[in-house]
A and B are shown apart, each in its own frame.
Chain A
């Protein structure tokens, strides 16, 4: 052990360059940073967090969107029109959970939607991606066909499937000969059936979306890993699950987050189908139908919106936690 062996310049791994501190930045740099960071933060606060906090505030009032809000407490047993903009406490939440018949079905349908996406649409998309990645014949054609629904707006997807599902004139019923008034299958009107019909539409689109994300991830997997695995005598199944899948972890997280977000913001398909009534209730639709439109139960709709926000915060917080934990892990293996 000599002195100079301890010299950090010559021993051990090269150190990461030290971060430049704020003090090293010139005035112009600071201004640029302030503008580039400040503007998005300001826009985020004004357009996202302002309305969010406003919604939470409104959810404790009874308001029909006309005139102002007051700090009076709502009077019991007077006509609604005289009770406008008053403080309603947690009554909106109470009503939603007790007497609003659409609330619990909507929560259930949102969870079913999530489950179908997680356990069916996403694995299906992964399967497509793996098959195409293995370079089967005509893979580009399959890729285009499977990706086509993703490029269509969901409203358009709903209209396309309307032609498939229509009771008396639809393709499905016509092909299977169930398009007469006596025996027609009511794909979109039967409340026991229509949620699943719409989930088929949603899966048709979501699987293609997941496939594209996955293909991008598979392309990034180092081919040497696979070659090494094959050298060690694994079969294709083992190669995928033991080697490729673990390497794909970041993409898996992205796909998971996308899946959760897509199923919570599900709205367009059911709205196009029947405005989200009669077996297609979803929280997002209930919020819309109470706040937007002539009905204007702004307070009540806001309460439903807050419920949706709370549900959404669970996967969002999980994702943020995972991201920041990864970020704080030091780079390089120790």
Chain B
């Protein structure tokens, strides 16, 4: 009865099982790519990377394209690369959240030759720590396919290229054409028109802007666009690199502008997932929604909603100096890990992927993203994609998104600060949130 071992009898088996499963999964994650790589007949590249390996021996590709349709598109792309004379590609797909979470240990362990990643500081951060291979020789061949601004996105802090892009997508304001036509709304181009339209919608009993931020990141896009509309692109990039303090009046202006819009945004955003906000737009309970095509248009396809009725306009201008010159257009693409077993084969794959033909192959089944090769008009484009190309190319510069332009730790800090702002957009709260952001930025960027 009073045996001290009673507690062990009640220990939850779940905990042990979970631990073992986790250990097994971790071990599998750590060894499988390595085992696969070990099967290839390539010579080990040593520490320098470079051109070891051979163009004909197989390569492995670590992919975070885990959803069904991108996964299929990506498989088609790799098959096309092999058909075009590249080496055979083995794809190792990992759920995208897991992939992003494990990236540091993955790149230091036994990574695949190639891996999927994001342009901007999010790439530069890993390149600067010597985890990626410079791709200057690849860019010497594919450079003609891309504009100078795309090349900048693929360039590390040391001036070398580390990244080959595949697609991007714009962050714009979506609406249903039939909805606007039936109510007699017109597309706003200035802030005053925008607010006037929101007022009209509210009077008509419609939620002006569908809005969701339960995952934390969607609202970062609203901060980005307001900052670029009010203070311009250069200021935004400086703020993201903490060359401008978060206590700056420019940041206060952004939050105050946002506070003006807040009454017209769907309430309770912190408890709503963006998929539900998109549903509110589909069902015409909401008039507009500001988010990426990669989310909204993709959700329309998922829900079998009327994609043909969906349309968008760039965010209205606020400061005439900058007009509608900038937007967030996050770019996804590929990199080669420093520890790649077959860098030569991996580079051959990227030389193919960096062409308009390869992007068209990838986009065959994708109805929301657009290719980044100059002047690409893939035959499979729908109206949204055609308009996206025009919208992005009319910008003087595109940002990547806060969690790709800033230090990842700072983006995490801003997620909770912006959620607190959504809860209480009062002036007093803005001031205290700014000082909290600045204190955290100091500890993250410098020490």
Contacts and interface: CB of A to CB of B under 8 A. Distances in A.
A254 B446 CA distance: 47
A80 B215 contact: no
B271 A167 contact: yes
Interface in A254-290: 254, 257-258, 274-275, 277-278, 289-290
Given A294-B103, A295-B408, A168 B272 contact: yes
Interface stretch (B352-360, B380-388, B393-401, B409-417): B409-417
Interface in B158-216: 207, 214-216
B39 interface: no
A186 B271 contact: yes
A190 B268 contact: yes
Interface in A57-99: 62, 64-67, 74-81, 83-84, 88, 91, 95, 99
A220 B1 contact: yes
Given A66-B131, A83-B447, A189 B436 contact: no
B129 interface: yes
Interface in B240-296: 266-272, 276, 279-280, 285-286
Interface string A148-183: 000001000000000001111100000000000110
A99 B443 contact: yes
Nearest to B442: A99
B128 interface: yes
Nearest to B100: A294
Given A81-B129, A168-B280, A295-B412, A326 B2 contact: yes
A220 B444 CA distance: 57
A91 B447 contact: yes
Interface string B403-447: 000011100100111011001000000000000100110011111
A128 interface: no
Contact of B268 (A62, A99, A184, A323): A184
Contacts of A191: 270, 419, 423
A28 to B, nearest CB: 25
A294 B104 contact: yes
Given A66-B131, A99-B443, A254-B10, A189 B100 contact: no
A213 interface: yes
Contacts, number: 143
Interface in B1-17: 1-2, 4, 6-7, 10, 14
A186 B407 CA distance: 31
A304 interface: no
B440 to A, nearest CB: 6
Interface in A181-198: 181-182, 184, 186-191, 194
Contact of B447 (A62, A189, A216, A292): A62
A84 B63 CA distance: 28
B105 interface: yes
Contacts of A201: none
Given A74-B447, A77-B446, A168-B276, A101 B270 contact: no
Nearest to B416: A277
Q: Which of B4, B271, B279 has the most CB of A within 10 A?
A: B271
B268 A186 contact: yes
A326 B4 contact: yes
Interface string B323-342: 00000000000000000000
A293 to B, nearest CB: 5
Contact of B10 (A62, A101, A258, A278): A258
Given A91-B447, A258-B10, A274-B214, A250 B1 contact: yes
A184 B436 contact: no
Interface in A212-238: 213, 216, 220
A187 B271 CA distance: 7
Given A80-B407, A295-B412, A277 B445 contact: no
A254 B7 contact: yes
B238 to A, nearest CB: 14
B4 A295 contact: no
Contacts of B444: 80, 297
A100 interface: yes
Interface string B105-139: 10010000000000000100100111100000000
B101 interface: yes
B415 A167 contact: no
A278 B416 contact: yes
B216 A277 contact: yes
A102 interface: yes
Contacts of B207: 181
B270 A66 contact: no
Contacts of B268: 167, 184, 186, 189-190
A224 to B, nearest CB: 15
Contacts of A76: 446-447
Contact of B266 (A181, A258, A324): A181
A80 B445 contact: yes
B303 to A, nearest CB: 13
A327 interface: yes
A251 B3 CA distance: 11
Contacts of B128: 81
A254 B439 CA distance: 44
Contact of B271 (A83, A189, A251, A294): A189
A189 B440 contact: no
Contacts of A294: 100-101, 103-104, 122, 408
Nearest to A181: B207
B4 A169 contact: no
B242 to A, nearest CB: 9
5 contacts: A84-B129, A167-B268, A168-B276, A182-B267, A274-B214
Interface of A: 62, 64-67, 74-81, 83-84, 88, 91, 95, 99-102, 153, 165-169, 181-182, 184, 186-191, 194, 213, 216, 220, 250-251, 254, 257-258, 274-275, 277-278, 289-290, 292-297, 319, 323-324, 326-327
Interface of B: 1-2, 4, 6-7, 10, 14, 100-105, 108, 122, 125, 128-131, 207, 214-216, 266-272, 276, 279-280, 285-286, 407-409, 412, 415-417, 419-420, 423, 436, 439-440, 443-447
Which 6 pairs from chain A and chain B are nearest by CB?
A189-B271, A186-B268, A189-B270, A186-B271, A99-B439, A294-B408
Given A186-B268, A186-B270, A191-B419, 9 more contacts: A65-B104, A66-B104, A66-B131, A76-B447, A81-B128, A257-B7, A277-B416, A278-B270, A319-B7
